Amino acid sequence: MVDASPYLGIKTSTNGLPLANYFMTEPTKSIYGSNNNVTVDNWFTSVSLADELLKDPYKLTIIGTPRSKKKEIPPVLLPTRQRNANTSMFCYDQEKVLLSYVSRKQKVVLLLSTMHQVGEISEETGKPAIVQNYNETKVGVDTFDQLCTNMSCSRKTKRWPLCVVLYVMINMANNNSFVIYSNNTLKRGEKSLSRYAIDLSRRLADEKISGTNFDVKYPPRNCSNFEYSK
């Protein structure tokens, strides 16, 4: 997690922007002008937003899945019985590429990209490069949410500030530090997320509790007894 913005329902102040545009431009402020690509789902994807992000000060490209009912989608790109599986159609408009890919009979995947300039097809898989890039990068948010769920200190509460502290400040910070720790450790996979979180919590609390640093000797899984040595 690099940047985020809370959704407060109708109380969300978007400064006159549509919700999708606001929640696309607000969390990406730290990468304005970087020419990086952002992968988004169908709630965000639109032709107008794709055009806007190419301009200053954003200078960002996107890959996203537009909804088939949007007026910008030509009817010829929608699913028909005449189109065979694993076939692709491309539409070009300035710096935008719109792809219609038939993954199986009468199942069409629509993708809008400002990252790609031409419609390339992989010789190995037979899939367009846009589809492959989207599949490789679309799971970031889902994976992060899964990590927060698997090792969570959140509790049921009606106090939203407590939800922010538990979920955002603790769960997300714990996962971010684990990612950094894992990438900086020579032995990848040396420590699981759960054991890392236990070790981190002990070390953070130790100074306040006893003023002594402990080395944690991890027990087998499903064991609640820990041994410590000064």
Task: Looking at mean pLDDT, say which of 104-108, 131-135, 136-140, 219-223 comes out highest.
Answer: 131-135
Q: Provide the edge-to-edge strand list for the sheet that holds 96-104.
A: 37-39, 61-64, 107-113, 96-104, 87-93
Q: Label residue 124 exposed, middle or buried (CB < 10 Å: 0-12, 13-18, 19+).
A: exposed
Pairing of strands 107-113, 96-104: antiparallel
Helix (H) or strand (E) holding 97, with range, is strand 96-104
Residue 64, Cα to own-chain centre: how many angstroms? 12
How does DSSP classify residue 11?
G
Q: Are 77 and 98 in contact (CB under 8 A)?
A: yes
Q: Is 93 helix (H, G, I), strand (E, B) or coil?
A: strand
What percent of the chain shows pLDDT beyond 70?
89
Q: Is the peptide bond before 57 cis (omega within 30 degrees of 0)?
A: yes
What are the pLDDT digits (tens) for 84-94? 888 899 999 98
Mean pLDDT for the chain overall: 83
Amino acid, single-letter form, for residue 123? E
- Output 211 or 228, whichever has higher pLDDT: 211
What are the pLDDT digits (tens) for 22-43? 988 888 999 999 999 999 988 8
| Distance from C-alpha of 207 to C-alpha of 196, rounded to nearest angstrom | 18
Structure tokens at 34: 């970087």
Region of 9 please: left (phi>0), alpha (psi -120 to 50) or beta.
left
| Distance from C-alpha of 59 to C-alpha of 109, rounded to nearest angstrom | 26
Q: What is the mean pLDDT of residues 153-177?
A: 86
Q: How many CB atoms are closer than 10 A to CB 98?
A: 22
Q: Is 13 helix (H, G, I), strand (E, B) or coil?
A: coil
| Distance from C-alpha of 200 to C-alpha of 153, rounded to nearest angstrom | 13
Q: Are 34 and 12 in contact (CB under 8 A)?
A: no
Residue 228's pLDDT band (boundaries 50, 70, 90)? Answer: very low
**Residue 58: its pLDDT value, please?**
92
pTM: 0.75
What are the pLDDT digits (tens) for 182-207? 888 766 667 788 888 888 888 888 77
